[in-house]
């Protein structure tokens, strides 16, 4: 029985569906109370008018990411009036885009299309449009309208293409620009090859298949060992696993051939000396076209604090149809090391914009419902200075599930006094063992090049922070599944892909998780009656920096049952 | 009170009901709790008045919220010293296969990538975009999930 079949067996009936919706309606009184307001796809998307020569060819609202493109098409000649253009919804396959499918029947405004009404127009001569560093404000301001300010959550960069262009020093070093362009292009192409969306383009002889009959015939005639198709060397640029490894080694270092084979996705295999692809990853769907990386427009900016760090924004036009383009935006961080430029981070699409920098208490939630507070709020919590109202407000934002927080700040202080010494150790173990809300954040983060740590070194560091660290052997046996080691004892987070351990030319990481969490979590008591009646539970507020400039913190809650023993309080994690 | 119209809610519900239901069932493994979780998830949507960039954003948000809803229901049952597995034994044992039990026993961070990959057919890059993790992290999680589920499992 396949996993897919298992999921498909979870097939709620129409009656269930209707009944649940009826409950929702009753609960929310949506029948009587809801105001009619269209869904607001508030995005990020705005207009970018691409002009080829003197010909305006289209205006595109784009929300990227497996998503839906909202395309505004204009006239094919002369200056288009974006305001006259009609929003249309395009299928996420670019080759299937149908302009003009009018969505105006519900007056939907899919995007903040204010820019469609102004005169900011990018004039591009497509004939000279090639991968290049460009520093003109007009271009990036338009991209900024399309994607909004950029905030990179794990670093300090917060860049507003429209208003912040002068706040950063541009990298105008042509040689460095060329090197970065080359690296991004190679990485991009390699990423697309490693993680192709469909076997059609990657399987030898399959790219022209179009009908189910063709596919069945092809499968009958070409399946190897009942499991694999031969990879297409034209697509990959290599024909065997060694070629794959060699290509990867041009981009990444830090692994040997045997390691490499365990890093690449499961659907690759070598059969009879040929690189093959599992049929499971094969012929189910036509792949999407690759980014037009050769046309990427680069903006390179030095970090204001560390000039060896260069932020690289890449706007890439993607052909919608033969006459229309939209843009995607990628973000990379390069670090200039003794061994040359290293790319440390790749991010597609902007991350949540955080601007909580004022002295007033600010609290909000991000797109995923995570509670964010500013430093003023954070400091007030840490100093136990919250008023009742402020505490109530905080708790109303923090996702507490069905737990009723009846206790007020005085009990928070009490709980802190009473429990903090021991909860601190428990909490550290809780975080170290993975947490539950931020499974990506408990573990070590990418290293600064040249700042490598051995496992033992990291362990010793952790011991200075965590009071209850087990002995080294126990630690290894307990957590080894999360780490891998190289021959020199350097370690890295267990992952499946080369680009996560390429940092610094080796593969080590530093900065254990304590950097990401406040080391003084704050307790509050959970009302006994809501904790099951079998004993007292406490909630622990804990914080993690969003960015490294300490202006914005995420807030989470972990719950523990409290047991009082002759040796003091013990805390048992209370995660179902 | 909501800024959404009932028609809009219905549209979103129609788009994502099955996904939310399946995610919740994967966690809770019984019909009654799953129905409650689906209800609570969409109530969160109404309460939060979320604005979405796209239907994928919408879906990602609903998945995330449904996870939280389910985890809190499990947490609550844990505090009440009730076992969701006990519910299965009483209510739905015949309806829950060994595979589904294995799936719901997966660590939380593995469940959703598995669902999106195997059921909804997203590739790792797309899943990474939805979950705000890297594509390689998705692949890593899928690999871990496969290890959890046993290498002999068909993964089509």
Which residues from chain A sit within 8 angstroms of residue B51, using beta carbons?
39-42
Lookup result for tokens 């990020």? A44
Q: Are residues A55 and A121 in the same domain?
A: yes
Q: Are residues A418 and A540 in the same domain?
A: yes
Longest pairwise C-alpha distance within chain B? 50
* Residue A305 sits in the same domain as residue A168: yes
**Residue B21 pLDDT:** 93
- Considering only the beta carbons, identify the residue of A12, A20, A34 that sits closest to B39: A20
**Do A317 and A384 fall into the same domain?**
no
Residues A57 and A88 in one domain: yes
Q: How far apart are CA A470 and CA A30, in angstroms?
A: 55
Interchain contact, A369 vs B125, CB within 8 Å: no
pLDDT in tens, A292-334: 667 888 999 888 777 888 888 888 776 544 455 567 777 777 7
Rounded Cα gap, residues B156 and A1, in angstroms: 9
Q: Is the pLDDT of residue A171 over 50?
A: yes
Separation of alpha carbons A242 and B123, rounded Å: 25
User: To the nearest whole percent, how much of chain A has pLDDT over 70?
Assistant: 36
In a domain, A42, yes or no: no
Q: pLDDT band for position A350 (50/70/90)?
A: very low
Residues A118 and A217 placed together within one structural domain of the fold: no
Span A535-557, average pLDDT: 66
Q: Which residue of A has its CA nearest to B36?
A: A20
Enumerate the residues of chain B whose CB falls inside 8 A of the CB of residue A42: 51-53
Listed residues A281, A304, A324: the one ending a domain: A281
This complex has an ipTM of: 0.84
CA terminus-to-terminus distance, chain A: 28
Which site among A1, A3, A68 would you substitute to test the B interface, given the most B Cβ atoms closer than 10 Å to its Cβ?
Answer: A3
Chain B residues within 8 A of A481 when measuring between CB atoms: none
Cβ of A402 within 8 Å of Cβ of B97? The answer is no
A264 and A203 both lie in a single domain:
yes
Say how many domains are in chain A: 6
Report yes or no: A284 at the B interface, CB cutoff 8 Å.
yes
Which of the four pLDDT bands, split at 50, 70 and 90, describes residue A398?
confident
B75 neighbourhood in chain A, CB within 8 Å: 401, 559, 574-576
Do residues A423 and A535 both lie within one domain?
yes
Alpha-carbon distance A289 to nearest alpha carbon in chain B (angstroms) = 14
Do A251 and A296 share a domain, yes or no?
no
pLDDT for the residue numbered A397 = 77
B91 to chain A, minimum CA–CA distance in Å? 15
pLDDT of A12 over the 50 cut: yes
Q: How confident is the model at residue A464 (pLDDT cuts 50, 70, 90)?
A: low
In this structure, the answer to whether residues A226 and A318 fall within a common structural domain is no
Of the segments A280-294, A377-391, A532-546, B94-108, which one has the largest average pLDDT value? A377-391
Tell me the three-class secondary structure of A449-471, residue by residue.
CCCCCEHHHHHHHHHHHCCCCCC
A131, part of any domain? no
A485 found inside a domain: yes
* Blockwise average pLDDT, block size 10, chain B, 156 residues: 65 90 88 89 78 76 81 60 37 59 78 82 74 66 73 40
Euclidean distance between CA atoms A522 and A399, whole angstroms:
15
Q: Nearest Cβ partner of B53 from A42, A285, A365?
A: A42
Q: Is residue A190 part of a domain?
A: no
Residues A437 and A163: their CA atoms lie apart, in Å, by 35
How confident is the model at residue A83, as a pLDDT? 24
A-chain CB neighbours of B79 within 8 Å are 530-532, 534, 537, 561, 574
Is the pLDDT score of A230 beyond 90? yes
List of domains in chain B: 1-96 (1.10.1740), 106-149 (1.10.10.10)
For B71, the closest of A16, A41, A576 (CB atoms) is A576
In this structure, of A98-107, A233-242, B111-120, the range with the lowest mean pLDDT score is A98-107
Q: How many CB pairs under 8 A join A and B?
A: 235
SS3 state at A317: strand
A5 confidence band (pLDDT: 50, 70, 90): confident
Domain boundary among A227, A256, A281: A281
Q: What is the radius of gyration, based on Cα positions, of chain B?
A: 16
Domain span holding position A53: 48-125
A500 touches chain B (CB under 8 A): yes
CB-based contact A6 B126, cutoff 8 Å: no
Does pLDDT of A241 surpass 80? Answer: yes
Are B53 and A67 a contacting pair at CB < 8 A? Answer: yes
CB B77 within 8 A of CB B69: no
What is the structure's pLDDT at A177?
A: 92
Q: Is residue A38 part of a domain?
A: no
Evaluate if residue A243 carries a pLDDT over 50.
yes
Residue A305 · residue A156 · CB < 8 Å: yes
Among A191, A402, A440, whose Cβ lies nearest the Cβ of B133?
Answer: A440
- Domain boundary, last residue among A474, A491, A516: A516
Render pLDDT for A259-284 as a digit per residue (tens, 0 to 9). Answer: 666 666 677 888 999 999 887 666 65
A28 vs B: CB within 8 A: yes
* A307 in the same domain as A340: yes
pLDDT for position A94? 27
The pLDDT score that the predictor gives to residue A197 is 57
Q: Which of A42, A401, A537 sits opposite B51 (nearest CB)?
A: A42
Distance CA A244, CA A202 (A): 13
Give me the residue label for tokens 């290599």: A238
Based on the domain organization, do A56 and A117 belong to the same domain? yes
**Interface contact A68-B54, CB threshold 8 A:** yes
Closest CA to A536 of A545, A525, A547: A525
For residues A23 and A540, the model is more confident at A23
pTM beyond 0.95, yes or no: no
């Amino acid at each position: 029985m396949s996993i897919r079949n298992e999921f498909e067996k979870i097939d709620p009936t129409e009656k269930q569906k209707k009944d649940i919706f009826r409950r929702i309606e009753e609960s929310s009184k949506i029948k009587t109370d809801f105001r009619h307001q269209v869904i607001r796809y508030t995005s990020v998307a705005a207009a970018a008018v691409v002009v080829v020569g003197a010909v305006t060819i289209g205006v595109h609202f784009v929300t990227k990411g497996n998503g839906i493109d909202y395309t505004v098409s204009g006239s094919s000649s002369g200056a288009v009036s974006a305001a006259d253009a009609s929003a249309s919804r395009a299928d996420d396959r670019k080759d299937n885009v149908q302009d003009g499918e009018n969505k105006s029947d519900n007056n939907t405004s899919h995007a903040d299309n204010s820019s469609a009404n102004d005169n900011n127009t990018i004039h591009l001569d497509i004939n000279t449009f090639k991968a290049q560093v460009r520093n003109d404000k007009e271009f990036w301001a338009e991209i900024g309208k399309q994607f909004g300010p950029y905030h990179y959550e794990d670093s300090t960069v917060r860049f507003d293409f429209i208003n912040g262009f002068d706040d950063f020093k541009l990298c105008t070093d042509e040689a460095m620009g060329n090197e970065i362009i080359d690296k991004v292009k190679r990485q991009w192409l390699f990423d697309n090859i490693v993680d192709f969306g469909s076997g059609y383009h990657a399987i030898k002889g399959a790219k022209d298949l179009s009908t189910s009959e063709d596919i069945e015939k092809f499968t009958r005639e070409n399946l190897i060992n009942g499991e694999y198709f031969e990879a297409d060397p034209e697509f990959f640029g290599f024909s065997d696993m060694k070629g794959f490894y060699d290509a990867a080694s041009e981009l990444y270092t830090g692994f040997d051939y045997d390691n490499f084979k365990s890093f690449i996705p499961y659907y690759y295999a070598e059969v009879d000396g040929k690189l093959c692809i599992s049929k499971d990853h094969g012929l189910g769907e036509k792949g999407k076209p690759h980014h037009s990386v050769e046309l990427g427009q680069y903006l390179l900016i030095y970090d204001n604090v560390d000039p060896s760090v260069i932020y690289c924004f890449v706007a890439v036009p993607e052909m919608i149809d033969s006459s229309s383009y939209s843009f995607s935006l990628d973000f990379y961080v390069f670090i200039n090391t003794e061994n040359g430029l290293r790319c440390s981070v790749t991010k597609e699409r902007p991350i949540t914009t955080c601007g909580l920098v004022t002295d007033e208490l600010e609290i909000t939630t991000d797109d995923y419902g995570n509670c964010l507070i500013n430093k003023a709020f954070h400091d007030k919590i840490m100093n136990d200075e919250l008023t009742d109202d402020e505490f109530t407000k905080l708790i109303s934002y923090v996702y507490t599930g069905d737990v009723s927080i009846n206790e007020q700040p005085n009990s928070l202080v009490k709980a802190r006094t009473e429990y903090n010494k021991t909860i601190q150790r428990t909490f550290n173990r809780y975080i170290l063992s993975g947490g539950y809300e931020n499974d990506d954040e408990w573990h070590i983060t990418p290293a600064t090049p040249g700042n490598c740590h051995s496992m033992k070194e990291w362990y010793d560091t952790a011991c200075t922070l965590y009071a209850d660290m087990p002995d080294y052997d126990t630690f290894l046996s307990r957590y080894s599944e999360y780490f891998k080691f190289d021959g020199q004892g350097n370690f890295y987070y267990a992952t499946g892909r080369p680009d996560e351990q390429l940092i610094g030319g080796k593969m080590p990481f530093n900065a254990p998780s304590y950097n990401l969490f406040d080391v003084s979590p704050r307790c509050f008591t959970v009302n006994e009656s809501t904790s099951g009646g079998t004993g007292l539970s406490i909630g622990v507020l804990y914080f993690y920096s969003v960015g490294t400039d300490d202006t914005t913190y995420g807030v989470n809650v972990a719950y523990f049952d409290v047991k009082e023993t002759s040796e003091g309080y013990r805390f048992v994690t209370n995660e179902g | 009170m909501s800024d959404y119209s009932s028609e809009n809610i219905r549209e979103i519900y129609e788009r994502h009901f099955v996904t939310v239901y399946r995610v919740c069932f994967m966690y809770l493994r019984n019909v009654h709790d799953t129905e409650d979780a689906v209800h609570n998830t969409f109530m969160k949507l109404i309460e939060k008045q979320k604005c979405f960039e796209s239907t994928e954003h919408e879906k990602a948000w609903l998945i995330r919220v449904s996870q939280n809803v389910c985890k809190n229901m499990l947490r609550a049952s844990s505090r009440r010293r009730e076992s969701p597995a006990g519910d299965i034994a009483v209510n739905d044992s015949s309806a829950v296969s060994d595979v589904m039990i294995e799936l719901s026993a997966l660590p939380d961070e593995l469940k959703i990538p598995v669902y999106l990959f195997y059921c909804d057919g997203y590739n790792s890059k797309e899943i990474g975009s939805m979950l705000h993790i890297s594509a390689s992290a998705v692949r890593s999680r899928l690999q871990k999930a496969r290890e959890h589920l046993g290498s002999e499992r068909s993964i089509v």
